[in-house]
């Protein structure tokens, strides 16, 4: 009996979806667009946060040396760094090695570097830190100590980067939810109005159902299913489009991204996010139908 009823409700909802296909196409498009925007920003946020986590796993401090620092001073600084209990390994990079590394990372910029009269890259000492939950304060103390050595011009600590990238990820997520949220709200009103039009178009059918003794639920369920189906179909379509964008965007950009390709790693949404979007789509559709039925379907 339940199966028979479910079949009937589904058939009624599908019939209506097909019957009013033009207006349903427009609502499907707007739902899809809303969730594509949320999906794209979520994927961006995922990638940035992933990169931030990666960076945190490999904490490094790079001390950039002045151009006229003699080799003996460089060795002294390297020794001091190596002695710190926070440091697991140290690597010194001459200006030539730094230049070669840059060209390896960004091959498309090779010509620019080679055409310069002088090597713009300073010598540096890269200290990899032990990854055993070291407090940032201790690292800053260590950096301050090393920085006292004459000859060190600049320091780059990748936890700063990790934090900056992490914040960027959170910002991307917030922008996605803000823009997507506005569109989801628009989808809600569109679904609500589409269902209202469907209710009005099927007034005679509703009338007949009422007169043959249908319950409120019996009349309303197909409309609710219709809204939910629209929402779910829109979100499924948006997931597919986000997937395509993630797969095709790197191809479109080609190799021009270079090392940046690693930063924007084009990872897809997590399973929780996928289910979240599907649930969101279904809910928007269902709520849109409900609001419409509450206002326009007086039984």
Partner 1 sequence: MIELYHVWKRYQKTHWALSDVNLSVKKGEFCFITGPSGSGKTTLLKILYREVIPTEGQIIIGGKNIQRIPDHKIYTIRRQMGIVFQDFRLLFHKRVLDNVSIALRVLKTPARDMKRKTFIALRLVNLHHKIWDYPSQLSYGEQQRVAIARAVVNNPRILLADEPTGNLDPELAHEIFGLFREINKEGTTVIICTHDKELIRRFGGRVLFLHEGKLSEKDSS
User: Does residue 208 touch partner 1 according to CB under 8 A?
Assistant: yes
Contacts (Cβ under 8 Å, ≥6 apart) of 247: 266
Q: Which positions from 267 to 296 touch partner 1 by CB under 8 A, shown as an x/- string?
A: ------------------------------
User: Does residue 1 touch partner 1 according to CB under 8 A?
Assistant: yes
User: Does residue 10 touch partner 1 according to CB under 8 A?
Assistant: no
- 3-class DSSP state of 94: coil
User: Does residue 133 touch partner 1 according to CB under 8 A?
Assistant: no
**Cα Rg for the chain, rounded, in angstroms?**
30
Is 155:60 a contact under the CB 8 Å cutoff? no
**Which residue in the set 23, 73, 210, 261 belongs to the binding site for partner 1 (CB under 8 A)?**
210
What span, in angstroms and rounded, lies between the C-alpha atoms of 31 and 190?
9
Q: Which positions from 137 to 166 touch partner 1 by CB under 8 A, shown as an x/- string?
A: ------------------------------
Q: Cα torsion at 52, 55, 60, 65 (round to 10°)?
A: -60
User: Does residue 4 touch partner 1 according to CB under 8 A?
Assistant: yes
| Nearest CB to partner 1, comparing residues 7 and 82 | 7
| Nearest CB to partner 1, comparing residues 33 and 224 | 224
**Where is 42: in which H helix or E strand?**
helix 21-57
Is 206:219 a contact under the CB 8 Å cutoff? yes
**Chain-centre distance of CA 192, in angstroms?**
29
Footprint of partner 1 on 16-75 (CB under 8 A): 19
Tell me how far, at minimum, the Cβ of 9 lies from partner 1, in Å: 11
| Nearest CB to partner 1, comparing residues 154 and 207 | 207
What span, in angstroms and rounded, lies between the C-alpha atoms of 286 and 57?
43
Contacts (Cβ under 8 Å, ≥6 apart) of 139: 59, 61, 86, 129, 157, 159
Q: Which positions from 212 to 241 touch partner 1 by CB under 8 A, shown as an x/- string?
A: xxxxx-x-----------------------
**Which residue in the set 114, 118, 211, 271 belongs to the binding site for partner 1 (CB under 8 A)?**
211
User: By the criterion CB under 8 A, which residues form the site for partner 1?
Assistant: 1, 4-5, 8, 15, 19, 204-205, 207-216, 218, 299
């Amino acid at each position: 009996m339940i199966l028979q009823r479910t079949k009937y409700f589904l058939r009624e909802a599908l019939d209506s979806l097909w019957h009013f296909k033009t207006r349903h196409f427009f609502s499907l498009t707007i739902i899809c667009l809303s969730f594509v925007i949320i999906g794209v920003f979520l994927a961006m946020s995922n990638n940035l946060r992933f990169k931030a986590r990666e960076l945190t796993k490999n904490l490094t401090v790079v001390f950039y040396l002045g151009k006229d620092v003699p080799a003996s001073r460089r060795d002294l600084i390297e020794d001091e760094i190596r002695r710190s209990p926070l440091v697991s390994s140290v690597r010194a990079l001459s200006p030539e090695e730094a230049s070669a590394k840059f060209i390896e990372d960004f091959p498309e910029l090779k010509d620019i570097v080679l055409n310069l009269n002088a090597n713009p890259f300073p010598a540096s000492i890269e200290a990899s830190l032990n990854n055993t939950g070291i407090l940032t304060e201790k690292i800053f103390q260590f950096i301050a100590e090393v920085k006292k050595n004459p000859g060190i011009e600049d320091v780059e600590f990748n936890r700063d980067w990790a934090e900056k990238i992490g914040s960027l990820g959170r910002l991307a997520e917030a922008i996605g939810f803000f823009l997507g949220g506005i569109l989801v709200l628009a989808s809600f009103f569109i679904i609500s109005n589409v269902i209202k039009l469907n209710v009005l178009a099927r007034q005679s059918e509703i009338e007949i159902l009422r007169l043959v003794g249908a319950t409120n639920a019996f009349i309303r369920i197909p409309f609710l299913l219709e809204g939910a189906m629209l929402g779910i179909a829109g979100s499924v379509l948006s997931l597919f489009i986000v997937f395509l964008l993630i797969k095709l965007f790197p191809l479109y950009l080609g190799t021009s991204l270079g090392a940046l390709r690693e930063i924007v790693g084009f990872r897809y949404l997590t399973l929780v996010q996928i289910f979240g979007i599907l649930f969101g789509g279904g809910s928007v559709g269902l709520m849109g139908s409900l609001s419409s039925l509450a206002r326009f379907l007086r039984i």
